[in-house]
Amino acid sequence: MSDQASLPRLRVHVRPATPCDPIDLVAAHTCAPVNAWISEGDVVIGWGQAWRIEVAGADQCRRASGMWQAIAARARVSGEAGVAAPLCFGSFGFFPDTPGALIVPRTLYCLFDQRAWVIEQSVEGSDAACPPLPDERGAVEGPGSTRVRDGAHSRTDYLAILTDLIARLRAGEARKVVLARDVVVEAEAPVRPGWVAARLARAYPTCWTYAVDGLVGATPEMLAEVRDAHLYTRVLAGTAGADDAEALAASAKDRREHALAVDSVRRALTPLCEHLDIPEEPEILTLPNVTHLSSTVRAIARVTSLQAAGALHPTAAVCGTPTAEAAEIIAQIEEMDRGRYAGPVGWMDSRGNGQWGIALRCGIVSENGLSVRVLAGGGIMPDSEPEREFAETQAKMLPVLAALGCGENGQQTG
């Protein structure tokens, strides 16, 4: 949809609500599609779909942001003040040929600054009812037994691709390329994204858990958060095992990889922001399954959260350096469709404030729910070791595999 004149006029009603456990809420039984964002600070959960915007091609985030701003400006909002309604969710592809989407839920539960709100959103002239909040005591059942099979590549094939890529990097074709792989989890019964999101949120409370349009995960990497012009982004690049923080901090290879990622963020944000604050040295971020080198970047933004996310994507942390050369190599050798893996995913309000993570530590649930494609990648440098890089992708897949009840070797774990 490119004609803004055809965009809908939304009717929006906001009312205060009693705070509840958002993890129980997102896992609750419901017939309406669920989209969600759960973090330690903010919670946005939506049911149903009042409107959907799909955008294909280049500049997806910028164009989608413009359409959303037009919709938000036309909306008729009633009820309690306190939330910049309407709100939407979004998910965008890694490559421009994968369409991105903004989704306007019919019913939303939001928790900001310990205050809860229910928001009802409908298209003017529509008589479809907004679904009620589900009963958080009615949890969805799990998918039963699961098993893991190879995705686009076997372990042997992936190691061969890695070896070829490292040779190309040593020949000077690029400084870094992020190579991804996938596995497929097959389930006995349909997988519900809300059920997976609840398990991830409990296991990884310091990450940002999301479930948007069938894409579900818990990302440790914030692409762009904007609140009243204050921008925050977390840069992760350089990875080791959960018990290898000391070795990671001393690793010249990982520190070079991290510096490339930070430089890509600096170049993207400089034209859009003021007072850019980038730390001189990375910190160590330890998660249950891996350890990362991490840098927190802050600035004053002149753009919406989604526009900032679009300007930053793809970062060197998920693509490589130089960006164009790395993307071309990925398209040549990865031999699989990344889809919305490693693309921007998040939510936004009527003022352009919002949070957009990088879709990492994630799976893509099939339409019938009987399979989940789990993806992970790693930054490959000229001095990378194939076996170590393969092991890194295994560690990054573990959050979703464990949430689905299977381990990296395909065995049932409960």
Token look-up 């050369």 returns: 325
Token look-up 């061969």 returns: 160
Nearest in space to 181 (alpha carbons), one of 213, 156, 204: 156
Nearest in space to 391 (alpha carbons), one of 148, 159, 149, 157: 159
Task: Tell me how far apart the alpha carbons of residues 12 and 123 are, in angstroms, rounded to a whole number.
Answer: 9
Q: Buried b vs exposed e over 132-150: b needs ≥16 C-beta within 10 Å? A: ebbebeebbebbeebebee
Per the structure block, which two tokens stand in for 253?
A: 């290879």
Task: Tell me how far apart the alpha carbons of residues 377 and 396 are, in angstroms, rounded to a whole number.
Answer: 8
Task: Tell me how far apart the alpha carbons of residues 93 and 344 are, in angstroms, rounded to a whole number.
Answer: 7
Which is catalytic among the residues 54, 124, 173, 176?
176
Task: Tell me how far apart the alpha carbons of residues 220 and 238 are, in angstroms, rounded to a whole number.
Answer: 13
Task: Tell me how far apart the alpha carbons of residues 279 and 239 are, in angstroms, rounded to a whole number.
Answer: 19
The yes-or-no answer on residue 253 being catalytic is: no
Residue 226 identity (one-letter amino acid): V
Q: How many CB atoms lie within 10 A of CB 218?
A: 28
Bridge partner list, 186: 147, 371
E strands, 222-272, in order = 222-227, 230-241
Residues 6+ apart with CB under 8 A from 322: 174, 175
**Residue 139 gets which letter from DSSP?**
B
**Residue 322 gets which letter from DSSP?**
S
CA atoms within 13 A on the CB side of 35: 25
Which is catalytic among the residues 120, 186, 221, 389?
221
Cis bond upstream, residue 131 (ω within 30): no
Task: Tell me how far apart the alpha carbons of residues 185 and 46 are, in angstroms, rounded to a whole number.
Answer: 26
Residue 216 identity (one-letter amino acid): V
Active site residues: 176, 221
